[in-house]
Amino acid sequence: MYFKEIELKNFRNYEYCREFFSPEINIFIGENGQGKTSLVEALYIMCLGRSFRTQKDKDMIKFGETSAVIRSVVYKNERNIRTEIVINENEKKRIKINGIPKKKSDLSNNILIVVFSPEDLKIVKEDPEKRRRYINREISQLYPSYYEALVRYTKILNQRNTLIKTGNVNRIHLKVWDDELIKYGSRIIFLRERFIERLSIISANIHSEITEGKEELKIEYDGDISFNENINEIINEFEKKLNFSFSKDMARGITSHGPHRDDIKITINDVDVRKYGSQGQQRTAALSLKLAEIKLIEEEIGENPVLILDDVLSELDMSRQNYLIQSLKGVQVFLTSTSISDEIADKFEEKIIFEIKEGKVINKV
Ligand SMILES: Nc1ncnc2c1ncn2[C@@H]1O[C@H](COP(=O)(O)OP(=O)(O)OP(=O)(O)O)[C@@H](O)[C@H]1O
Ligand SMILES: [Mg+2]
């Protein structure tokens, strides 16, 4: 599956733009602030119905305008899928697939996307919150039921916290919330663990290849409710923990157990990379994770996702760049950069280079 075409109207700094893509590699070149990331952001929205850099859809409407339109054509299973998203200032965005109104969750049936940006290079070293957000994003894309559970869990967690902060609640009363929290929370834990286990195996192989067998990468689920193959066991343990911490939670006004406290533990040769890894090791681990994600999606749905490399190539050393490039066969790639050397450009065969300036494609080779 791949993007054939995109059309933008009043999107970010683009007044109008329509471009056709190579099924292999598309390179967006331009100085800072010209519209490279905006273009890949538009592709991302067509896959997931939301941006990777803003929570507010309105931010994407061109300054001074009241609506933005994005249209795309994706080629999949030997046919074209036409998607349209209209973002309005004062109402919910509207999505149509092949002319028929659809929900946001219908988009991910079409095309999956993996973004790799300098932000992602930091996944390994930043706070647990960042890693949670990362795995939430990736698992949601593969399993819409995960996203649903996550939305519900977060809502119930907030309600529960508000309630216990009032101090005016007893165990029996709280049980209604706890039952829901446990129901969705255990689903989250279950799917997270399964995802991380698979990601760990694939990324370990990739990491070993990149480092020529010198480094053994391991990723583990690091949660305060231990994982069990049997979801009922997770439910039981979660319930026990909530009961046990009832008085403490009441005193502190927070919920001290649950998947909102989870982390992922990443080690190289059994040493915690977050604490002790060099910057290069942290980046390589992040690269291995990203490439593993592509593989996992391919295994899961039988097709490669589209890959966005936003400003990330220049952050890697030559041998990492080479590894990345040679592992991209069969994946449609959108790469942004302020410049690209002939040496790197020559490594890609079926490529189109788009030169971007002030929200326009001014040259295409
Ligand atoms: N809603 C908007 N309306 C108009 N212009 C916008 C809007 N949002 C952002 N911009 C502008 O669009 C321009 C392009 O931003 P973008 O992030 O796509 O640049 P870029 O080419 O990726 O730059 P860099 O190399 O620095 O990453 C910027 O100058 C930004 O200020
Ligand atoms: Mg950019």
Q: Indicate the pLDDT class of residue 224, thresholds 50, 70 and 90.
A: confident
Examine residue 149 and state whether it is found in any structural domain, yes or no: yes
Closest approach atom of ligand 1 to CA 28: 21
Examine residue 150 and state whether it is found in any structural domain, yes or no: yes
Q: Indicate the pLDDT class of residue 360, thresholds 50, 70 and 90.
A: very high
36 lines ligand 1 (CB under 6 A): yes
Whether residue 266 is found in the same domain as residue 324: no
Q: Model pTM?
A: 0.88
Whether residue 295 is found in the same domain as residue 309: no
57 lines ligand 1 (CB under 6 A): no
Residue 152 has pLDDT above 90, yes or no: yes
Whether residue 293 is found in the same domain as residue 332: no
Whether residue 243 is found in the same domain as residue 311: no
Whether residue 163 is found in the same domain as residue 45: no
* Domain count along the chain: 2
Whether residue 157 is found in the same domain as residue 254: yes
Examine residue 36 and state whether it is found in any structural domain, yes or no: yes
| For residues 53-58, average pLDDT | 91
The residue whose two tokens read 């157990």 is 257
CATH classification at residue 272 = 1.20.1050.90
pLDDT, residue 202, reads 96
Whether residue 171 is found in the same domain as residue 67: no
In the reported structure, the alpha carbon of residue 35 is separated from the centroid of ligand 2 by a whole-number distance in angstroms of 7
Domain-terminating residue out of 302, 319, 350: 302
Domain-terminating residue out of 276, 302, 328: 302
Whether residue 104 is found in the same domain as residue 131: no
Examine residue 139 and state whether it is found in any structural domain, yes or no: yes
Examine residue 355 and state whether it is found in any structural domain, yes or no: yes
Q: Which domain holds residue 288?
A: 125-302
CATH classification at residue 16 = 3.40.50.300
Nearest-CA residue for ligand 1 atom 29 is 33
Examine residue 119 and state whether it is found in any structural domain, yes or no: no
Residue 227 has pLDDT above 80, yes or no: no
Percent of the chain with pLDDT over 90: 72
Ligand 1 test: best mutation among 16, 34, 89, 355, most atoms within 8 Å of CB?
34
| For residues 269-278, average pLDDT | 94
Whether residue 266 is found in the same domain as residue 177: yes
Domain-terminating residue out of 275, 302, 329: 302
Q: Indicate the pLDDT class of residue 187, thresholds 50, 70 and 90.
A: very high
Whether residue 30 is found in the same domain as residue 137: no
12 lines ligand 1 (CB under 6 A): yes
Whether residue 148 is found in the same domain as residue 255: yes
Residue 336 has pLDDT above 90, yes or no: yes
In the reported structure, the alpha carbon of residue 34 is separated from the centroid of ligand 1 by a whole-number distance in angstroms of 6
Ligand 1 test: best mutation among 9, 11, 12, 29, most atoms within 8 Å of CB?
12
Whether residue 326 is found in the same domain as residue 265: no
